[in-house]
Every structure is written in structure tokens, then in C-alpha cells.
Amino acid sequence: MKPLFATIALSLHLSASAGMPTEIVLWSEPTVRGEVTISGSEIHYAGDIDTVVAKSIVDLIEQQKFDTLLIHSKGGDVEAARKIGVAVFDQKITVVVSGQCSSSCARYIFTGAKTKQIKPEAFVMFSEYKNYYDYVKTINQLAEKKLSNGIAILSESEKGQLAIGEKWVGPEKEYFQKIGVDMRITSLGYVPGKSVSHWVMTAKRMSDFGVSNVALPDDYASQVFCDKMKLKGLLRWDAQCL
């Protein structure tokens, strides 16, 4: 099967003078769609996430015949992954990571599960999009400016930025409020000028952000664990254990 190339982007139509990019690229990867299968009360999926995959998984979850999602995915379409996360949360599905659960898989599907398991030599890896982080910060500042002084204080350009931004940022905030997880977990690695682009977190660090009920190996996310996984070629070399 040929890879399907997909890019999920939010066109912002922002002026260069505003100091913001004209496009926020949230995901741009060659995607390889896997096959959704079932085994007893489990749904199994290995592959990238797109709208077709999300519909298949969500439809199965909503049948209320399954209690576990066994997943191995490097991520994919943001909105598709979030839809799976909502279904996982609403139906109290257990998520078992059998290989990797990275990017949007970690951000939405793993965090949305009430009960989670990370198998030996598997990992959950969060990642940060610098331009997205900066964009959310700008939108929040504009929203505060509007709240304090009224919309008339905003320029036409700022009004446009805020309208488009709220359309995207709103669902993101609503999702994390719904599942009871601190959204800052998605930007933990971002420090201006010295960012960690990909990170794996200990159980304690995850619980600090509201991600609990995680069964995992004793040495998970330790430096020894990260070094071992990198030497085996399972974890990317620039990933950090936090």
C-alpha cells in the first residue's frame, strides 16, 4: 500500500507585521493506515491515525462490546485522534500501548483513557509544536485584552486572529477540561530557546498533570530506560526522559 501524504494545517491569514506565521502546521507526515481488528473484548490498531481509522475505532467503541484499545501508533490527524480520545473517555476504555503511542496518540488517546497500560519496550511520547505553542499564547493574550477592554480595543487584524484562533483553541481546551488533564502536559518540553521537542514522562510526572492509573515497567522513563530504547532503535535519539 502506498503511503498517503496528509497535512493537517490551520490557515490563519495573519499579517506578517503581527509576527505570526500564516499557517500553523500541526501534523505533516507520510501516513500508513493500518487495519483495525478485534479480539474478544479488545480493539487492536497499529498504524497512523486518520479520519477513516478514527471512524472505525469510534464505531466499534460505541457498540459497547469492547473494553480495551490495544494501540501502536506514531500519531496522525489531530481531530481524528481527539475523536478517538473522546470515545475512549466516554466509554471508559482501557488503553494498552503495545509499541509506541506518540504525538496525537499520546496527546488525546492515551490521556483520555481512565485506565492505561504501557507494555515492556513500549512508550508514550509527547511532542511540541513550537509555532502552535506561540500561537496559543498570542490568542490567550488577545482574549484577555478583549475581556479587559472590550472588542473595540482590538485592531481588525487582531479581531481576525482571535476569531480564527478561538475556533481552534476552544475545542482543544474543552477536550482537556472534559478529561480532567492539565493541558500544560502538551507543552512541558517547550522552553524558549532551549526546547525539548519529544519527551517520555515518568508515572509521577504524568500524575502531576492528572494522567493517572498507569501500569508500566518499573524503570519506565528512567535514563536507563531511555538509553536502552535508543540503543535498540525503538526511541528517537532526540527524545528526553522527564
pLDDT tens figures, 166-193 = 777 778 889 999 999 998 888 776 655 5
Are the beta carbons of 21 and 163 closer than 8 angstroms? no
Helix ranges restricted to H, 45-95: 51-61, 78-90
In the predicted structure, residue 16 carries a pLDDT above the cut 80: no
Amino acid at 192: P
What is the rounded distance in angstroms from the CA atom of residue 121 to the CA atom of residue 217?
9
- Average per-residue pLDDT in the chain? 83
6-20, 29-43, 185-199, range with the lowest pLDDT = 6-20
Query: Is the model more confident about 55 or about 78?
Result: 55
What is the rounded distance in angstroms from the CA atom of residue 159 to the CA atom of residue 164?
9
pLDDT value for 1? 38
pTM score over 0.85: no
Query: Is the model more confident about 120 or about 132?
Result: 120
Based on its alpha-carbon atoms, the radius of gyration of the chain, rounded to whole angstroms, reads 19
Domain ranges, ordered by start, for the chain: 1-242
Are the beta carbons of 4 and 52 closer than 8 angstroms? no
Among the four given CATH numbers 2.40.50, 3.40.50, 3.90.226, 3.30.70, the one describing domain 1-242: 3.90.226
